Structure 1
Amino acid sequence: MTNLSPCPLECWLPDLRRFGPVHPLRALLQRADRLEDGASGYLDGLAAYFQCRDGMPAAALTREHLAGDAGDASWLNADPAWVQPDLGGARLLACGQLQLHMDEALALAEPLKPVFDDAGITLEISSPDRWHLRLPSSMSLPDFAAPEQALGEDLYEHLPRGQEGRRWRILLNEVQVLLHQHPVNAARRARGLPPVNSVWLWGGGALPLQVTTALAGVISEDLLLLALANRAGIKVQPRSAHTVSGAQAGWLIDLQDLGVDDIAITWWPLLQMQCKRQSLRCSFASGERWLYRSWHRLRFWRWVAT
């Protein structure tokens, strides 16, 4: 999936197992051609559409997209997170998307900045849900797990390992102590919202000099996907009924972050109309891929057989 043809129209969808047998998309797949599996997961899926020379430096890409000042510095995401203690340790329940306002984010970050300053690191609040660390160019980074790898799992199983990771584990512990009794979190609990009691470190690296893709454009609300598209110099559009209805061959419609019911009710009718005009390649977050061509609607025997 690394050398995608500019045709047909692409649609990136959630894990196939989430689509029940009566979901309308299943009828499309019954008439489509099954392709070789592609990449699975969020970051690998992005890497299949966009090629960076040195991995996927999500922090530098999103910082550049939001603030335009990534430069040649090294960056690390420190996204606000919700960690829930349990009998076996603690679980990462959310990373970003915690309904934070900017004033809340700035207030939460205020006591954290001196901790990072002492380590020679600058904490930048790029948006309420996206916090970034500007690192010294000489600082080496251990392997950090992406949020998709750790969500719902034991936090400590996904912290950086070894001596190189030790300093980051200590920093994270200090951050959690400071956030635990923060008045912003007390106010959030009173409103029935989860606390921001940790940060999640991931996506380290420097801004890639070049990002390449075979796509002509993307329709998405995903920050990292939009950052990659802008870096690659292709067109981007917000996700709406108008843009999805008008998408052309070579474009990517990103629906992988949506619920399957939302896709069935809101987006499936638009995709169905697209399938009457042009070919559609459906790529699922779990790796499965199908190609539907407009003439596949004549494969009535497949429908009857099922």
Structure 2
Amino acid sequence: MSTDRGGMLVTLLPERRRFGRLRLDADIARLLGRGDRLPDGEVGEQAQLARHFQPVPNGWPMAALQRQADCGDASGFRWLRADPVHVRPDINGARLMAWGNLDLDPAEAEALLQALHPVFGDAGMPLTAGAPERWYLQLAIDAPLPDFSPPEQGLGDDLFRHLPEGGQGRRWRALLNEAQILLHNHPINAARAARGRLPANSLWFWGAGVVPEEVRSRLSSVSSSENDVLALATAAGIAVDGAGQGDRLLDLRRERDWRSVEGELSLAGRSEKFATHDSIVLDFADGARWRLRPAQRWRFWRRPMLELGA
């Protein structure tokens, strides 16, 4: 193996089921069949990212990290995301159907925020935005908060299954109910519905915490358009879209076409990525992982892996 290779290329991918039950290209089937299946990791995007970034002290304060990346003013407060979402009522409650892809423009977001300011301002939690669909609640640094589910866990699921219970949860359920009434009746949402656009008719609370002392990672650079990875990289002092030696991360979690993944990795028919990396790790959000190395091509006795699996 050449001594001028870089380190590992970590590729973040969605759950395998997102790609369907396609039959793999012969070259990629052979490469994966000869690769090393690593022990499964925890399921979910948060756990997936936590395999490569470690906030100190322990925790996962994405609201504070992203607020700092968006606005640079997160220190000294506890933060909670309160993102606009679309929920669809059904016979059993309401299901989370859209988060982060409502395409709210800045004027729409500001009008909705203005309507909600009294609800949260009177509760001592100013509500502001870092972007049209990234909304933040600012709390006292020692404010107690219940556990909230990250939105990717709630997509397609009953909203009320993800609301906190108990005494603390009662307060947040009441705040959400008041916010939903205002959003449901807001003319911005009526106008969006009339144009065939999804209304922002609820909020999703998540990511509570304070800015960590540091974020540790063995990565030297990341390539991603996702705000969670960019915020973690910024906090860790990692180059974004940088070249050079060391371990790199390629974020393909939003990809749904496996052929595009093969093209990104240059795995179909040749292994040119290995010219600059001594290994490639495929890290799926369902916890499945593989490590691929150049020397594995000599494992002739290994059978091709015909499908990605569930």
Name the aligned partner's letter for residue 75 of structure 1: W
Give, in whole Å, the separation in 1 of the partners of 2:305 and 2:118: 66
Deviation by residue 1:119-157 (Cα, 9 ceiling, x = unmatched): 001001110110000012342101111112211111111
Number of residue pairs matched by the alignment: 294
Worse overlay, 6-15 or 139-148: 6-15
Worse overlay, 194-203 or 7-16: 7-16
Worse overlay, 128-137 or 264-273: 264-273
Match for residue 273 of structure 2? 274
2:251 paired with 1:254:
yes
Worse overlay, 81-90 or 39-48: 39-48
- Contact kept, 8 Å, 1:9 with 1:248, in 2: the verdict is no
Deviation by residue 1:178-207 (Cα, 9 ceiling, x = unmatched): 000211112211222111001100010111
Name the aligned partner's letter for residue 33 of structure 2: Q
Match for residue 3 of structure 2? none
Name the aligned partner's letter for residue 89 of structure 1: G
Name the aligned partner's letter for residue 273 of structure 2: Q
Larger relative contact order, structure 1 or 2 (CA cutoff 8 Å, min sep 6): 2
Q: 1:305 to 1:22 in 2, by over 3 A?
A: closer
Q: 1:305 to 1:142 in 2, by over 3 A?
A: closer
Match for residue 112 of structure 1? 116
Match for residue 134 of structure 1? 138
Match for residue 182 of structure 2? 178
Match for residue 24 of structure 2? 23
Structure 1 residue 261 displacement after superposition: 4.2
Match for residue 42 of structure 2? 39
2:232 paired with 1:228:
yes
Structure 1 residue 26 displacement after superposition: 4.0
Give, in whole Å, the separation in 1 of the partners of 2:17 and 2:120: 41
| Runs ≥4 residues deviating over 4 A | 246-249, 303-306
Name the aligned partner's letter for residue 273 of structure 1: E
* 1:1-306 aligned within 5 A: 7-19=7-19, 20-24=21-25, 25-52=28-55, 53-237=57-241, 249-261=246-258, 263-264=260-261, 267-269=264-266, 272-275=271-274, 277-278=276-277, 279-302=279-302
Give, in whole Å, the separation in 2 of the partners of 1:205 and 1:283: 26
SS state at 1:120 partner: coil
- Contact kept, 8 Å, 1:91 with 1:151, in 2: the verdict is yes
Worse overlay, 177-186 or 265-274: 265-274
Give, in whole Å, the separation in 1 of the partners of 2:64 and 2:133: 15
Question: Could you say which structure has the higher helix fraction?
Answer: 1
SS state at 1:112 partner: helix
Structure 1 residue 232 displacement after superposition: 0.7
Structure 1 residue 268 displacement after superposition: 4.3
Gaps of 5+ in 1: 1-5, 238-242
Give, in whole Å, the separation in 2 of the partners of 1:264 and 1:51: 26
TM-score normalised over the length of structure 1: 0.89
SS state at 2:204 partner: strand
Gaps of 5+ in 2: 1-5
Deviation by residue 1:278-303 (Cα, 9 ceiling, x = unmatched): 32111111111111112323444435
Deviation by residue 1:266-287 (Cα, 9 ceiling, x = unmatched): 5243784314553211111111
